[in-house]
Structure 1
């Protein structure tokens, strides 16, 4: 009996170590400062922890809301560099079936490889069709391609598990300014910058109530400089072109109220409030 139990535990450990969509970020803790992800206060009812893998490498981590078909947040290391944007959008095979490939792939490739329909892919996640007729909304990256270096890392951000319906004016306006300009300024002197960008679920949906439209988009960063740790944060209502600068503690207080699932903690305590 004890031998059988040990075998079950060993099998469980092997599964956690070799799976893409699991019950924690066991396979990719490197995208969180001190390898500590946010606490459970952000967790939805039906979560999926995704180590975003493309061409045999992990590029960032995503907590995904299976019911609302949007990411809760994506966590990544800020390292902008050369590379192109992807011409394709990808889906997550292991959200469909845990025995499928660990690498993100196109809907067509997944459908052909596993002999399944587009509707079967869409049962577990958003698909391209959901975003085809957006009005006043864009495909908003949580982990943006411009914060990555090299084609593989940049293309890995073009998965629909990293996308939310984002207000077009905001996405092309102040949020873009934050991603491109403010981040470059704030990260000066940082050795490694850890970023967590998320979306607060809203009350409206697109694509026949399949995909939630967030009420807010938010982001927080923590980095080590030569002399100290520093953090910064922002939040934006997803219905206007305005980004509010906050401290980490202010953002966590806001998210605690907005999510209503308990006190939110985004970073290890070494990151200042």
Structure 2
């Protein structure tokens, strides 16, 4: 259950992720992970995403580019609650700040790696609104093809991802890659 050998993430994970061997040793991202180890631990940090004292999901965060590399979470369907849609500060130092997204003349907005529409309930939805789960996305992409992909994926999750207890269940990792040309 180690995502990064030598860094036991098991205690960081929410209990519903700990119990299912969600992470394995062979998760690899070019230049970031090698044989399951963080290549540059001073740059990439594993963050336990906690909201109201409960672990919700895990993020691997790039402190240099101030964006998440990926967020890992469990899909369990959703209850009929609406989120507050407010950003909250996960209080992780070396993270992006709200001002990084304000007055943006380039047309970027906040793209969730763990989409709030995939969260089970209001508290889990609110937990996705931390800047350590957000990547800058071109507005046209975030509101266009990315939104369509999230919607299509959710339909598949709803229809086909049913566990032995007849409950919705899927384990997902959503990632981002920083642009070479569009960093500020």
Normalising by the residue count of structure 1, what TM-score does the alignment of the two structures yield? 0.52
How far, CA to CA, are the matches of 1:40 and 1:186 in structure 2?
24
2:149 to 154, 166, 178: 178
1:163–1:28 Cα change, 3 Å: same
Q: Deviations over 1:64-121 (max 9, x none)?
A: 001110000001111231222234212222x33xxxxxxxxxxxxxxxxxxxxxxxxx
- How big is the alpha-carbon RMSD for the aligned residues of Structure 1 and Structure 2? 2.2
Residue 34 (1) aligns with residue 32 (2): no
Residue 165 (1) aligns with residue 162 (2): no
Normalising by the residue count of structure 2, what TM-score does the alignment of the two structures yield? 0.75
Which has the higher mean CA deviation after the structures are superposed, 138-147 or 31-40?
31-40
Per the TM alignment, residue 189 of structure 1 is displaced from its structure 2 partner at its CA by 2.9
1:260 counterpart residue number = none
1:194 counterpart residue number = 171
1:70–1:186 Cα change, 3 Å: same
2:45 counterpart residue number = 48
Residue 133 (1) aligns with residue 103 (2): yes
Do the aligned partners of 2:22 and 2:171 also contact (CA within 8 Å) in 1? no
- Runs of 4+ aligned structure 1 residues displaced above 6 Å come to none
How far, CA to CA, are the matches of 1:86 and 1:80 in structure 2?
19
2:118 to 144, 147, 165: 147
User: Where does the alignment leave 5 or more consecutive residues of structure 2 unmatched?
Assistant: 1-6, 34-38, 164-168
How far, CA to CA, are the matches of 1:126 and 1:204 in structure 2?
19
Q: Which is richer in helix?
A: 1
Alignment of 1:85-96 (within 5 A): 85-93=83-91, 95-96=92-93
Which has the higher mean CA deviation after the structures are superposed, 74-83 or 25-34?
25-34
1:196–1:72 Cα change, 3 Å: same
How far, CA to CA, are the matches of 2:160 and 2:90 in structure 1?
36
Per the TM alignment, residue 149 of structure 1 is displaced from its structure 2 partner at its CA by 1.7
Which has the higher mean CA deviation after the structures are superposed, 163-172 or 73-82?
73-82
How far, CA to CA, are the matches of 1:24 and 1:171 in structure 2?
34
How far, CA to CA, are the matches of 1:149 and 1:186 in structure 2?
13
1:71 counterpart residue number = 68
1:91–1:205 Cα change, 3 Å: farther
